[in-house]
Amino acid sequence: MRLKRPLIVLICVLLLLGLAFAAVAWQPVIAATEPPEKAAFDKALIANGAQLALIGNCNTCHTNPGSPPYAGGRPLPTPFGTIHSTNVTPDPDTGIGRWSEAAFLRSMHEGVSRDGRHLYPAFPFDHFTKLSTVDVRAIYAFLMTREPVHAQSPSNDLSFPFNVRPLIAVWKLLFFKPGQFQPDTAKDPEWNRGAYLVEGLAHCGACHTPRNALGAEKHNEFLAGGESEGWHAPALNAASPAPVAWTAEQLFTYLRHGFVKPHGVAAGPMQPTPDNLLDVAEQDVKAIAAYVGSILGPATAGRPERPDELITRRQNEHAAPVWEPSSTTGSGGSRPTSDASEIYAGACAQCHEPSGRSFSARGIHLAQSKTVAMPDPRNLIHIILEGIEPPAGAPAALMPGFGAAFTDEQLAALITFVRANFSDQPAWNGVQDQVRKVRHDKNGS
Amino acid sequence: MITLNVNGREHQVDAGRSTPLLYVLRDDLGLNGAKFGCGLGQCGACTVVVDDKPAFSCLAPIGVLQGRRIITLEGLGTIDNPGPLQRAFIDEQAAQCGYCIPGMIMRAHALLLAKASPSASEIRKHMKPNLCRCGTHMRILAAVRRAASATRSAAANTSGEGARR
């Protein structure tokens, strides 16, 4: 008898909580519309939308390699399982052909699909919420005038409870604040344009900002370094691992062409960005470079602007061996006997040492490499295993992959050698395990 | 002294451990199939197969290759008795100056070891690291396709199931 009242209270509380959750989680369906005529869209709006879609890298996530553009189906690995991108061609049945402009606007600003379902934040609506309505309309015009492709994207492969879509509403309550970009009146128009693009459309923070255990970006650590698809995305603030300071001009060249001396080549998940930005209006890329430059900060004593100082210092500290054809036979003579220095001499020095073979485009000196200085060895492991094919049109050499030539132990020894000889940073831990993991993930994917 | 396993035979080599395999193959072992094109891993003329995977021998220091299985062009057949891939290249007349060809054949050999029936686009993608300056590409691709289908029909015949397409 005495249990009855607390039980009733408990049931009422649970009911109220359930109602509150439903109120938060439920979103109305926006009525389907007939796919609009392509001719109905203003040409200038479509052209603007095309530019914005390049800055936003929409094609990268929403295209499965080998499949038609924007037809979705690309698997995106996350810590919670694999999500597949959706078809955003104007196909009426499997794409967004029946989405009104209002439905598209809601998806970009609030992360809600036309049918009222919440979208996973792997779709970075937490960035796209900053877009102006005009820009979203332009992207809508662009997408609705693409070639419709009938392709149902595969269902996601997420573990419980992440596969319970309504729970995203809780995530949003905790971590998502919708709202358009507000310019900083104290800064110049170029900086504000850059801020608008970086914080919104280009969603740089989606990779370059660390995330918490529930996958939300840590806003007080903006651009402090994150990861994407098994690669480390380096810090773009004062914690940047680059041994040489970035100038705004270098950033512009890197973002546009995917390669700049002395910093090197864009690799891994970063590579689609310069591929797209090559076709974007110069002043927008300049604006992005100016804004990122302001976050990186100026050159310091520890991070000089002139790479030569760094190379000279390194060469005075460690004589890096270079194999030359005129070398005598016999086992190495007076050279250091560690396996790793011999690997470096025979495999790396030809391209990466100034005294190696000269040719028109070569590898950067490793003392300048941010990859060697990163807190995380994975990028270097990827690069040595797989090589780098430079971005389209970049004036950079191809780096061959060495996955076939080296075993895991040899690779680990080489990486440890390179880290010790070409950076001041502390040694990486568990390199051989990480090599094995990267190789396995690469083969398994 | 370093022991290298090349084409199934053990060789004792007296060269520095940082010496790239290409120079040892040519200068110490007299195996001149692999060619020097750039010495930088940019052209593929030096391609050999290490543990069934293609590798640039100009950038593979012999110090890492002890205990590994190295196959060169000479290991695929002889002038009098060419292997199936070499046979396909001869039948397609896939050579002009011929300088890129040993590298092309070794790269293709690694592909066919991994995948008996590659598609045309898979062949192109796999052969990408190897350059040809004479413009023999179409014949080279035809030769690889020819070798792949010859291997397929040979396998079908030996399995007794007849030619099954």
**B165 is a domain residue:** no
**Mean predicted lDDT score pLDDT of chain A:** 89
Chain B: closest CA distance from residue A96 (Å): 31
Average pLDDT over residues A110-120: 95
For A330, which of B14, B39, B129 is closest by C-beta distance?
B14
pLDDT at A442 over 70: no
**Do the chains contact at A359 and B41, CB–CB below 8 Å?**
no
Alpha-carbon gap, residue A179 to A167, rounded angstroms: 21
Q: Supply the pLDDT for residue A391.
A: 77
pLDDT at A132 over 50: yes
pLDDT at A267 over 80: yes
Give the confidence band of A331 by pLDDT, cuts at 50, 70, 90: very low
Give the residue numbers spanning the domain of B31: 2-154
Q: Supply the pLDDT for residue A323.
A: 75
pLDDT tens digit sequence for A216-243:
999 999 999 999 999 999 999 989 999 8
Average pLDDT over residues A292-310: 78
pLDDT tens digit sequence for B137-156:
999 999 999 999 988 787 77
pLDDT at A346 over 50: yes
* Residue of chain B nearest A339, judged by CA positions: B63
**Do the chains contact at A357 and B14, CB–CB below 8 Å?**
no
Of A261-265, A326-330, B10-14, B35-39, the poorest mean pLDDT is in: A326-330
Of A233-242, A337-346, A406-415, the poorest mean pLDDT is in: A337-346
Instruction: Write out chain A residues lying below 8 Å of B14, CB-based.
Output: 329-330
**B109 is a domain residue:** yes
Instruction: Write out chain B residues lying below 8 Å of A407, CB-based.
Output: 64
Q: Which residues pair with A110 in a beta bridge?
A: none
pLDDT at A333 over 60: no
For A329, which of B15, B50, B51 is closest by C-beta distance?
B15
Domain containing residue B43: CATH number: 3.10.20.30
**B55 is a domain residue:** yes
Instruction: Write out chain B residues lying below 8 Å of A403, CB-based.
Output: 53
Q: Which residues of A touch B (CB under 8 A)?
A: 321, 323, 325, 327-333, 335, 339, 341-343, 345-347, 350-351, 357, 359, 397-400, 402-407, 410
Q: Supply the pLDDT for residue A85.
A: 96
pLDDT at A175 over 80: yes
Best of A406, A439, A442, A443 to mutate (most B CBs within 10 Å, chain B):
A406
Chain A: closest CA distance from residue B83 (Å): 23
**Higher pLDDT pick, A316 / B54:** B54
Chain A: closest CA distance from residue B163 (Å): 31
pLDDT at B165 over 50: no
Q: Supply the pLDDT for residue B115.
A: 94
What percentage of chain A has pLDDT greater than the value 70? 91
**Do the chains contact at A357 and B39, CB–CB below 8 Å?**
yes
Give the confidence band of B71 by pLDDT, cuts at 50, 70, 90: very high
Q: Supply the pLDDT for residue A1.
A: 57
Instruction: Write out chain A residues lying below 8 Å of B23, CB-based.
Output: 325
- Please state the domain count of chain B: 1
Q: What CATH number is given for A189-296 in this structure?
A: 1.10.760.10
pLDDT tens digit sequence for A38-87:
999 999 999 999 999 999 999 999 999 989 999 999 999 998 999 999 99
Instruction: Write out chain B residues lying below 8 Å of A400, CB-based.
Output: 41-42, 56, 59, 129
Chain B: closest CA distance from residue A404 (Å): 6
pTM of the model: 0.88
Size of interface A-B (CB pairs under 8 A): 94
**ipTM here:** 0.88
pLDDT tens digit sequence for B12-43:
999 999 999 999 999 999 999 999 999 999 99
* Residue of A86, A83, A102, A96 whose CA lies nearest to A168: A83
**Do the chains contact at B64 and A323, CB–CB below 8 Å?**
no
**B40 is a domain residue:** yes
Domain ranges of chain A: 23-153+161-175, 189-296, 307-326+334-444
Q: Supply the pLDDT for residue A326.
A: 61
**B160 is a domain residue:** no
Q: Supply the pLDDT for residue A316.
A: 66
SS3 of chain A: the string is: CCCHHHHHHHHHHHHHHHHHHHHHHCCCCCCCCCCCCHHHCCHHHHHHHHHHHHHCCHHHHHECCCCCCCCECCEEEECCEEEECCCCCCCCCCCCCCCCHHHHHHHHHHCECCCCCECCCCCCHHHHCCCCHHHHHHHHHHHHCCCCCCCCCCCCEECCCCCCHHHHHHHHHHHCCCCCCCCCCCCCHHHHHHHHHHHHHCCCHHHHCCECCCCCECHHHCCCCEEECCEEECCCCCCCCCCCCCCHHHHHHHHHHCEECCCEECCHHHCHHHHHHCCCCHHHHHHHHHHHHHHHCCCCCCCCCCHHHHHHHHHHHCCCCCCCCCCCCCCCCCCCCCHHHHHHHHHHHHHHCCCCCCCCCCCCCHHHCHHHHCCCCHHHHHHHHHCECCCCCCCCCCECCCCCCCCHHHHHHHHHHHHHHHCCCCCCCCHHHHHHHHHHHHHHC
Q: Does domain A307-326+334-444 have CATH number 1.10.760.10?
A: yes
Give the confidence band of A299 by pLDDT, cuts at 50, 70, 90: confident
* Residue of chain A nearest B24, judged by CA positions: A329
Helix (H) or strand (E) run with residue B87 in it = helix B84-91
Chain A: closest CA distance from residue B27 (Å): 11
Shared fold status for A189-296 and A307-326+334-444: yes
**Do the chains contact at B50 and A404, CB–CB below 8 Å?**
yes
Name the most confidently modeled range: A23-32, A54-63, A161-170, A317-326: A54-63
**B13 is a domain residue:** yes
